[in-house]
Structure 1
């Protein structure tokens, strides 16, 4: 976090993860898995004022630091829950336009947050044109299996791009129609119009990178 600008996205992978706006420029409901320092939560709270944000964090010690990281208090559109995210997504009381999966422990992505059933549940709990955006680490032993599972849950409608900084790979999985990188480039203007200039200035280069260098995984056989 930048002390003087706590709502800014200081890390490259978080700016890439905001690329979900290329799929859903005006999301109504977002579920965020993993609070951490709250950078994406703060950014979305500030720059997406019409969006309801549900943050899921299993570690109470992380939640206890929310004031130090200037995470906004809970209100009518922002809430941080101490919750097992896999359980919550499976039984959520409403569907989401976006699910942001950025949950890590000391060993990487916990097994419950990278299983086939978890990705299937994410697909089921998204709105018809919803998107799952997942932060994965290419050096982790579960990386290849996670990518395969996401592609299976979303019938191959997945675009993946690396962050060029920390071996993070960001996967965007569409529930609705196929979105190729070329199609996402065409969505840039919609995002520019929907966001304040100070937000767009942080995101433009990352969003362009998704369109120019994202890898479209194509269709997957769900029967495998």
Structure 2
């Protein structure tokens, strides 16, 4: 009871004192640390007991790229935040080079607080604009994860046709792009339209696990996903090494392919109900 009370008091204090200038702020409670740009939205959440665990559902859903590319040699992440995805991939994909691109040096300055390991041969944190990094780097990642947000939402440059074209060009021949969208973002149909100019019908959109976020998957290589039974078989194998609901992710991924490939079925802005 005392622990719960102290966490509640810490939260109420944070609400009362949180700045509204868009600077990153950390809420510390007995059990968790969370990153915020304002008092309302949580950008990242870390369990103190299990700092490498993916606590937020959308981060677990983004790991669904494993169904398409289980052993990536290189992952580029746009947006570091509290480092949840970077830490998970660094710990569990031991043959993968992880490069996290974060535009805000104040966010990077919090890496020790969120127990993000120091740079080494498998992990690199770069302070740069993610869209410019993708357009100008020569490296060809197998996976690009897009989870870049500012206080006002997703930066405009991460949802344009030029950005998606750069991602398509930069990805390896069988590469996968995964992008996180807020459910409240009215421009999600526009992002789908722009992404389709680069990836055609090789896309899927699904509701993220346990959250009000949506996840876009787009891929190179085969224009269609494998059959559902094949995806489920992959999921069961992967779940022996990953504490993730990849079986559920496989079902959402396959259903989302049907939605994303048919423009007439795209929901109206703000009313996405893909499950």
Normalized against structure 1, the TM-score is what? 0.89
Query: Aligned equivalents of 1:9 and 1:184: distance in 2?
Result: 25
Change (3 A) 1:71 1:9: same
Structure having the higher Rg? 2
Within a 5 Å distance, the mapping from 1:55-94 to structure 2 comes to: 55-94=100-139
Which of 174, 178, 183 lines up with 2:227 in the alignment? 183
Query: Aligned equivalents of 2:224 and 2:57: distance in 1?
Result: 22
Q: Deviations over 1:62-106 (max 9, x none)?
A: 100001111111000110000111111001121110000000111
Within a 5 Å distance, the mapping from 1:1-224 to structure 2 comes to: 1-163=46-208, 165-180=210-225, 183=227, 185-193=229-237, 197=240, 199-211=241-253, 213-216=255-258, 217-218=260-261
Query: Aligned equivalents of 1:202 and 1:4: distance in 2?
Result: 18
Identify which range, 95-104 or 151-160, moves more after superposition.
151-160
Gaps in structure 1 of 5+ consecutive residues: none
Q: Deviations over 1:111-149 (max 9, x none)?
A: 111111001100000111101000012321322111111
Query: Aligned equivalents of 1:30 and 1:175: distance in 2?
Result: 15
Normalized against structure 2, the TM-score is what? 0.73
Identify which range, 149-158 or 62-71, moves more after superposition.
149-158
- Length, aligned pairs only: 217
Q: For the Cα contact (< 8 Å) 1:19–1:210, is it kept in 2?
A: no
RMSD after superposition: 2.0
Q: Which has the higher contact order (CA 8 A, sep 6+)?
A: 1
* Structure 1 position 10, deviation (Å): 0.5
Gaps in structure 2 of 5+ consecutive residues: 1-45, 264-275
Query: Aligned equivalents of 1:203 and 1:4: distance in 2?
Result: 21
